[in-house]
Structure formats: structure tokens, C-alpha cells
């Protein structure tokens, strides 16, 4: 294969935009054109292979790509149903969803205790079968390619096992989830093959940048003015920051300026708490890049 690192990415769909945005935030410059299978990264020896998400694990496994970005749900299903040399290198924090068992709200199946002897429709036969095996439940799997939520109403199954994010699709079809069998998010996957030293270095660099991007998305810079007497109480309230900068304010002996990097989400409740301790002029600023 070429000496350019090849990353398999979903061409279009619920993973695609966030995958492209993450790679762009890591400094990769590329543009996606309509029908093309490959996008060349202009400023680094990297190519993007633009494909359907279901093909990403096997492309990585078969050396059509060095690494890929795909949902854990798809990866685990492929691991369970085929010979696959691909595993998670890092989780990416987007495209979160879960694989759930669900059944009609007014039907006979209310929990997994009721599944024995029934039919379960799914596009995830591998993960569903694993769950049934682990629980010692004997049920029949009805494999479908899509529109699984319709299975109970057309009478091909008593329950379904499908991806859920907001639950709106289930609700619209009169279904209720009763058990989560897999939590999923997008992940960077790779095979066990050894990469050339150049590609290995590039992958290391990319993964460090991804870590930085994920971290900086949650991290904020907080600036505020506070009464001197409250410095320690305020420091304690700042989420995930250990050593804030405290500076005098010109012409004011009672107040100080406090600045800190907060590595955890800053909620409105935190700001209200700071205010009740006497903090004023509170600013929360985004951090564009960070590297530790
Ligand atoms: P393709 O045409 O590439 O096969 P698809 O129709 O199989 O696409 P999408 O609906 O684009 O797949 O979903 C891709 C992945 O995004 C899912 O496998 C899952 O990991 C994740 N996902 C599913 N639902 C959501 C959601 N509501 N929000 C965010 N991510 C989701
Ligand atoms: Zn797909």
C-alpha cells in the first residue's frame, strides 16, 4: 500500500460530519467532493477513504485502510459475525447511541424475562445473540436490513433490538425500550498489523491531536473578579482546575481577579454558585487548542 496513511471514514450519514470536523480540527486540510472515493489531505501524507460505515471494519481488517472511524455498534457486530482484525484504538466521544431491546407498549413482552420462545427482529444479530447467550435466553432472531421498528406491527417479531438515540423513532411506532445491550460512540479503529515507521509516527501524532481536540472541547477558561476573602471557596467551586491565577485589581484592595482553566463542563449552576460567593464579571471562554 502507499506510504500515505489511509483513514476509512463514512461518506455520508450520522458519523460523517463529525468525523470530518474532528479531522479538520486536528489540522487536516481536505475537501469532500460528491462522487469520489478518496479525498487527499493537502498538508499531510494522509488520504481519506469515503465509504459506507458497515464496510469500515472489514476495510481496516483487510488493509484497504490503515485506520477507520466507525461506531462501536458496527465494529462489535462485525467482530462477532466475521473474522475481523480490527479493534478500538481510542473512543471519540461523538455519535453516542445505544443498542436496545424494545417492544410494543401494550404487548406481552415487558422485560427480557419475557423473551424466551419469542422472535426478536434486528440488524444486529451478532450482538443480540451474544446477549441472549449470556443470559441463557432461547429466542429466535429475525434478521432485517432496515426498518426494524416496523417488525412488531407487521407481525414478524414480538420485539426488536435496534439503535436508539433520542427514542423518538421508538415512540412514533408505539414501542418502548426495556433493556440496553450495548452503549456505543464513534471510535478510531486499527488492525494488529505493524505500520511503517512513518505511518506509525503520523498515527501517534494524529491520536495526540485528537486527544487535544476532545479535551479542549470540554475545557473552558474562566475569568472573574472576587472578594479576597472568598479566594479558596471560589477555587473549590471551579470544576477540574487546581491552581488558578490570582491577581490584584488596580485601585481596589478588596477584590482580586481569578483566572483558571477548567477541564470539566462549566454548568450554569456553577456560575450561580460563584456569584453567590461574591464573584462578579464572570467570563467563560472557549479554548481553541491545548496540548499537555
Ligand atoms: P451508511 O449509508 O454509511 O451505511 P447508515 O444508514 O448505516 O449509513 P447512519 O444512520 O448514518 O448509518 O448511522 C451511522 C452510525 O451513527 C450508527 O451506526 C451509529 O454508530 C451512529 N448513530 C446512530 N444513530 C445516531 C444518532 N441518532 N445520532 C448520532 N449517531 C448515531
Ligand atoms: Zn450502514
pLDDT tens string, the chain, 292 residues long: the values are 678 999 999 999 999 999 999 999 999 999 998 889 999 999 999 999 999 999 999 999 999 999 999 999 999 999 999 899 999 999 999 999 999 999 999 899 999 999 999 999 999 999 999 999 999 999 999 999 999 999 999 999 999 999 998 889 999 999 999 999 999 999 999 999 999 999 999 999 999 999 999 999 889 999 999 999 999 999 999 987 778 999 999 999 999 999 999 988 888 999 999 999 999 999 999 998 888 7
Q: Residues 110, 173: one domain?
A: yes
Task: Please identify, by atom number, the ligand 1 atom nearest to the C-alpha of residue 71.
Answer: 20
Q: What is the total count of domains within the chain? A: 3
Distance 125 CA to ligand 2 centre (A): 14
Overall size of the chain counted in residues = 292
Assess if residue 67 is contained within a domain. Answer: yes
Nearest C-alpha neighbor of 26 from the set 90, 85, 83, 74: 90
pTM: 0.89
CATH number at residue 259: 3.30.70.120
Give the whole-angstrom CA distance, residue 152 versus residue 107: 9
Cα radius of gyration rounded to whole Å, the chain: 25
Assess if residue 292 is contained within a domain. Answer: no
Residue range(s) defining the domain that contains residue 232? 219-286
Give the whole-angstrom CA distance, residue 187 versus residue 86: 11
Q: Residues 13, 83: one domain?
A: yes
Q: Which residue lies with its CA nearest to atom 20 of ligand 1?
A: 71
Tell me which of 8, 9, 11, 15 to substitute to probe ligand 1's pocket, judged by most ligand atoms within 8 Å of the beta carbon: 15
Assess if residue 141 is contained within a domain. Answer: yes
Q: Is the CB of 54 under 6 A from ligand 1?
A: yes
Residue at a domain's end among 166, 184, 202: 184
Assess if residue 291 is contained within a domain. Answer: no
Q: Residues 132, 173: one domain?
A: yes
Q: Is the CB of 73 under 6 A from ligand 1?
A: yes
Nearest C-alpha neighbor of 111 from the set 99, 119, 101, 125: 101
Phi first, then psi: what are they for 220, rounded to 5°? -130, 155
Q: Residues 276, 157: one domain?
A: no
Q: Residues 86, 190: one domain?
A: yes
Confidence (pLDDT) at 290: 84
Distance 127 CA to ligand 1 centre (A): 16
Q: Residues 178, 225: one domain?
A: no
Residues 6+ apart with CB under 8 A from 221: 259, 260, 261, 262, 284, 285, 286, 287
Give the whole-angstrom CA distance, residue 32 versus residue 264: 33
Q: Residues 123, 200: one domain?
A: no
Confidence (pLDDT) at 1: 60
CATH number at residue 112: 3.40.190.10
Q: Which residue lies with its CA nearest to atom 21 of ligand 1?
A: 95
Q: Which residue lies with its CA nearest to atom 13 of ligand 1?
A: 14
Amino acid at each position: 500500500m502507499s506510504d500515505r496513511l489511509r483513514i476509512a471514514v463514512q461518506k455520508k450519514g450520522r458519523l460523517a460530519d463529525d468525523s470530518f470536523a474532528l479531522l479538520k480540527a486536528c489540522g487536516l486540510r481536505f475537501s469532500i467532493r460528491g462522487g469520489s472515493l478518496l479525498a487527499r489531505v493537502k498538508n499531510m501524507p494522509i488520504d481519506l477513504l469515503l465509504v459506507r460505515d458497515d464496510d469500515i471494519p472489514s476495510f481496516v481488517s483487510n488493509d484497504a485502510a490503515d485506520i477507520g472511524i466507525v461506531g462501536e455498534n458496527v465494529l462489535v457486530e462485525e467482530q462477532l459475525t466475521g473474522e475481523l482484525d480490527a479493534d478500538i484504538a481510542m473512543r471519540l466521544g461523538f455519535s453516542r447511541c445505544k443498542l436496545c431491546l424494545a417492544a410494543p407498549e401494550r404487548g406481552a413482552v415487558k422485560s427480557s424475562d419475557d423473551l424466551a420462545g419469542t422472535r426478536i427482529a434486528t440488524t444486529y444479530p451478532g450482538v443480540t445473540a451474544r446477549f441472549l447467550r449470556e443470559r441463557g435466553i432461547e429466542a429466535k432472531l429475525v434478521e432485517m436490513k432496515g426498518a426494524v421498528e416496523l417488525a412488531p406491527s407487521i407481525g414478524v417479531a414480538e420485539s426488536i433490538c435496534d439503535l436508539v438515540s433520542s427514542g423518538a423513532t421508538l415512540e412514533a411506532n408505539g414501542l418502548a425500550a426495556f433493556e440496553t445491550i450495548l452503549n456505543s460512540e464513534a471510535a478510531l479503529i486499527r488492525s494488529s498489523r505493524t505500520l511503517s515507521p512513518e505511518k506509525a509516527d503520523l498515527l501517534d501524532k494524529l491520536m495526540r491531536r485528537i486527544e487535544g481536540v476532545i479535551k479542549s472541547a470540554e475545557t473552558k477558561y474562566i475569568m472573574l473578579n472576587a472578594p479576597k476573602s472568598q479566594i479558596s471557596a471560589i477555587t473549590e467551586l471551579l470544576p477540574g482546575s487546581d491552581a488558578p491565577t490570582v491577581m490584584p485589581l488596580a485601585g481596589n484592595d478588596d477584590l482580586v481577579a481569578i483566572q483558571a482553566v477548567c477541564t470539566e463542563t462549566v454548568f450554569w449552576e456553577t456560575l450561580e454558585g460563584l456569584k453567590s460567593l461574591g464573584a462578579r464579571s464572570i467570563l467563560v471562554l472557549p479554548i481553541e487548542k491545548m496540548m499537555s
